[in-house]
Amino acid sequence: MSVEWTKEMAELVGPERLLLGFDQVDKLSKDYYWYSPVLEPLLRDKRAEAVVVPESEEQVAQVLAFAWREGIPVTTRGAGTGNYGQAVPLEGGIVLDLSGLDRVLEIGDEEARVQAGVRLGALEKQLRETGKELRIYPSTFMKATVGGFVCGGSGGIGSITWGNLWDGNVTEAVIYTMEEAPRRIVVRGSELPAYIHNYGTNGVLTELAIPIARRTEWRQTVAQFDGFEACCRFAHAVALDDAIRKRLVAPVEWPIPSFFKPIVKRLESGSAACLLETADGSEQALAAHAEAAGGRIGYTIPSDQYRKTIGLSDFTWNHTTLWALKADPSYTYLQAGFHPTDFLRQIRLIKAEYGDEVLMHLEFIRSAGVVVPASLPVVRYTTRERLYEIIAFFRSNGVGINDPHTWTLEMGGRGELEAMLAAKRANDPRGLLNPGKLQIPVGER
Ligand SMILES: Cc1cc2nc3c(=O)[nH]c(=O)nc-3n(C[C@H](O)[C@H](O)[C@H](O)COP(=O)(O)OP(=O)(O)OC[C@H]3O[C@@H](n4cnc5c(N)ncnc54)[C@H](O)[C@@H]3O)c2cc1C
């Protein structure tokens, strides 16, 4: 490590905002890449040379200008809860930890304006106190930052009503470029997709405006079914029923519910479960849908207990994988997109081929207006070859896969690659922002 640049950096941001201790730097160079047994050995030893924790936009700009001058890579970090090593610095340099930019700037009727390091959980709490709430958030919301969600996530709780990040769930972003004199650009509308799920490769987001919803009183319900198909039919019917206001529709097959240790005693042994967040007053409609699909309503958490006990969303999205990993470290996962209406046939084919090697977990979302079963199937890992065989089988049966076992946007991303590359050419001509995650084609460098 160049002692010289760390001395200069300390003068620039103040010694308290520059972390150099091995353990601290090591910890802040990691995210949840270890969910992938493919990525774990490859990223285990990657670390930055220093972590900088700016307290203002001005400091962000100063750090970027300094890094540009010295040719030092910069990897931005929110809370480091991403799953594919997005926030892991592949080429050392600086981890730019934005957790110090944590001010909620404005809460309006339709929109909240925040600094990028604001935690989604803190924002949701503040919004609900004013009669509003987030539209969408990941199951890691207590830790995850708004900037990290926009740059590393996709959707989550709320996506059954509001879609994912690309469905109008970001209205404006303030971005700093990596140049001699970093520019502050304000991006809206059709320019935004270049910065959504971009892993911070083409700019550092310091401020965001996101649309918000009116507060709803959420009741949490588990509906139980003898088989997974019935559970899916129920989930699909609820997902399509516009009379039910909802935030979460997540069917999982047995034995996945047996991994949910804190609530397992409240769940039926051997049954498939659909985890739901629906508005108060939806009880009868849910019971009718459950009965029609041959199931029954089980464990419920009334709305006055919302956020006061462990919530059902703590067992959904990629938290489902976390509980599976806790139960048995040989599990890993995939990110899949099933056909909006033909998904049961696709699931049957997969189960016939792989049995319990692939355990089904769907998350219904409404994307571009269409209700679709997104999915994070839990997969028993044996070898990389076998994992990619399973991926190929999914794809050959029309099930889309966003590969979570790669750190590159080219291989695993889900955003608009061309737009991201154009923004990278314009904003990061030296390729210093999170290098290795999005490459400007060789001939152009
Ligand atoms: C148990 C578990 C459950 C999860 N559930 C979900 C889920 O429901 N939905 C979902 O979408 N994801 C989920 N994730 C992934 C992840 O938690 C979320 O995407 C989360 O929003 C990331 O936020 P973060 O602040 O931790 O970002 P980080 O992990 O710190 O960063 C994510 C990426 O964005 C970049 N970045 C961060 N901040 C900025 C910034 N201000 N400017 C530019 N680049 C930036 C980083 O360099 C990195 O590439 C889950 C992960 C785990 C471990």
Tens-digit pLDDT profile for residues 140-183: 999 999 999 999 999 999 999 999 999 999 999 999 999 999 99
169 and 225 share one domain: no
The answer to whether 222 and 299 are in contact (CB under 8 A) is yes
Q: Is 409 part of a structural domain of the chain?
A: no
pLDDT along the chain (445 residues), means of 10: 81 96 97 96 97 98 97 98 97 97 98 98 98 98 98 98 97 98 97 97 98 98 98 98 98 98 98 98 98 98 96 98 97 97 98 98 96 98 98 98 95 86 96 93 64
DSSP readout, 43-96? Answer: HTT---SEEE--SSHHHHHHHHHHHHHHT--EEEESSS--SSSTTS-TT-SEEE
Enter the tokens of residue 349: 């084919």
How much is the pLDDT for 168?
96
Which 3 state secondary structure label does DSSP give 407? coil
Q: Is 64 part of a structural domain of the chain?
A: yes
Enter the tokens of residue 205: 């987001």
**Mutation test residue for ligand 1: of 53, 120, 140, the one with most atoms within 8 Å of CB:** 140
Alpha carbons within 13 angstroms on the beta-carbon side of residue 231 total 28
Of 273, 217, 223, 287, residue with least CA distance to 245: 217
Total domains in the chain come to 3
382 and 233 share one domain: yes
50 and 141 share one domain: no
DSSP state of 16: G
Strands (E), 93-183: 94-97, 104-107, 111-115, 132-134, 172-176
**Mutation test residue for ligand 1: of 90, 101, 318, 323, the one with most atoms within 8 Å of CB:** 318
Compute the distance from residue 138 Cα to the ligand 1 centre, in Å. Answer: 8
d(CA 268, CA 430): 56
The predicted-structure confidence for 96-135, as pLDDT tens digits, reads as follows 999 999 999 999 999 999 999 999 999 999 999 999 999 9
Compute the distance from residue 397 Cα to the ligand 1 centre, in Å. Answer: 29
107 and 94 share one domain: no
126 and 188 share one domain: yes
Q: Is 86 part of a structural domain of the chain?
A: yes
d(CA 439, CA 428): 11
118 and 222 share one domain: no
| Domain ranges, residue 194 | 101-214
205 and 334 share one domain: no
Domain boundary among 38, 67, 99: 99
CB-based pocket (< 6 A), ligand 1: 31-32, 75-83, 86-87, 98, 116, 138-140, 144-145, 147-149, 151-156, 199-200, 204-205, 317-319, 322, 434
Query: What angle (nearest 5°) sits at the alpha carbon of residue 145, between those of residues 140 and 150?
Result: 95
44 and 181 share one domain: no
Task: Return the residue whose CA atom lies nearest to atom 1 of ligand 1.
Answer: 319
Compute the distance from residue 200 Cα to the ligand 1 centre, in Å. Answer: 11
d(CA 105, CA 294): 49
328 and 248 share one domain: yes
**Mutation test residue for ligand 1: of 81, 321, 322, the one with most atoms within 8 Å of CB:** 81
253 and 331 share one domain: yes
How much is the pLDDT for 376?
98
Compute the distance from residue 152 Cα to the ligand 1 centre, in Å. Answer: 4
List beta partners, residue 322. none
315: Cβ contacts below 8 Å, ≥ 6 apart: 250, 260, 263, 275, 323
Domain boundary among 99, 130, 146: 99
Is the pTM for the entire model greater than 0.85? yes
d(CA 406, CA 413): 9
Compute the distance from residue 38 Cα to the ligand 1 centre, in Å. Answer: 19
How much is the pLDDT for 444?
67
CA-to-CA separations, 225 to 206, 235, 270, 435, in angstroms, rounded: 46, 11, 9, 47
Kindly give the number of the ligand 1 atom that is closest to the alpha carbon of 205: 42
194 and 309 share one domain: no
Can you give the CATH number for the domain in which 112 is found?
3.30.465.10
188 and 309 share one domain: no
